[in-house]
């Protein structure tokens, strides 16, 4: 499955109006067998911006595409230099009330699985078990030549050794906001001398974060796992996603086509509203804390 490089989406007329009444969500969750599809909006209360919200990162930067990354050495150098600062900021983020609420619903048996579009690992840090990382994780790195996987912490150590003066020189940019894809904005002069390291196993392989860039394929086996979860669900609960990219939207369409209720809790309209049974517009932390209080003993 190719993740289309769709960066923006404009709402059209006739979409489902929003509500602030959680009754339908409470009833669906109480019935159980709910699958959660979460997006960047679930992590904003942890200090990680979403892509398309009021303060979304797309207002100030364009995410790296797969074609850019594999096609140009300077693009890879820019990505890893920016990621070297951004990744450390990502590791300092902590799960918020929304992540903890999803875990509580899972522990109580109401939620049977989570499909997260986020690459920050916060849902797992909150203790959730059956989580499918649709777009991968920033905590892992893969070699595009030999396929060896390694940890981002290991690469961090190697990049710091290869660029001993970089972080001191870039100190002025530490206040820059981290993007959902784990990097920060840096001017060309800050990355020009940055040294990218090759794979430690094969010696010359190109290293890539184990995430799905815009324009890249989501592994078919992962998609199949998600489809099975949705097939078995009594309801699909979408949390904090505009559903702009097809990789997440297709599961909403799959659920709707099979008659499975789709409930969306998001700040603002989504590309999946036309397939939704109910759309709730409330801050996620507040809404999910209320949900847990109503359904958990």
Which residues have a catalytic role annotated? 135
Other beta carbons within 10 angstroms of residue 131's beta carbon come to 20
Main-chain phi, psi angles of 207, to 5 degrees? -90, 140
């Amino acid at each position: 499955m190719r993740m289309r490089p769709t960066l923006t989406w404009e709402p059209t007329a006739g979409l489902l109006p929003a509500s602030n009444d959680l009754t339908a969500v409470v009833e669906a969750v109480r019935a159980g067998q709910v699958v959660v599809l979460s997006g960047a909006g679930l992590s904003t209360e942890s200090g990680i911006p979403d892509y398309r919200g009021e303060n979304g990162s797309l207002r100030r930067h364009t995410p790296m595409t797969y074609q850019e990354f594999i096609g140009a050495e300077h693009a890879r150098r820019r990505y890893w230099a920016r990621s070297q600062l951004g990744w450390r900021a990502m590791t300092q983020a902590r799960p918020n009330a929304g992540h903890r609420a999803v875990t509580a619903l899972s522990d109580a048996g109401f939620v049977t699985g989570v499909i997260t579009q986020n690459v920050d690992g916060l849902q797992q840090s909150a203790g959730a078990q059956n989580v499918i990382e649709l777009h991968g994780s920033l905590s892992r790195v893969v070699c595009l030549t030999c396929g060896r996987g390694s940890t981002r912490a290991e690469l961090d150590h190697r990049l710091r050794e290869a660029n001993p003066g970089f972080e001191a020189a870039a100190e002025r940019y530490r206040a820059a906001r981290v993007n959902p894809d784990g990097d920060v904005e840096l001017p060309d002069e800050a990355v020009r001398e940055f040294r990218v390291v090759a794979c430690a196993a094969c010696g010359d392989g190109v290293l890539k974060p184990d995430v799905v860039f815009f324009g890249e394929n989501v592994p078919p086996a992962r998609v199949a796992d998600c489809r099975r979860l949705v097939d078995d669900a009594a309801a699909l609960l979408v949390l904090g996603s505009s559903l702009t990219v097809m990789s997440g939207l297709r599961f909403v369409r799959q659920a709707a086509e099979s008659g499975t209720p789709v409930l969306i809790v998001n700040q603002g309209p989504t590309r999946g509203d036309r397939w939704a049974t109910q759309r709730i517009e409330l801050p996620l932390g507040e809404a999910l804390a209320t949900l847990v209080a109503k359904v958990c003993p």
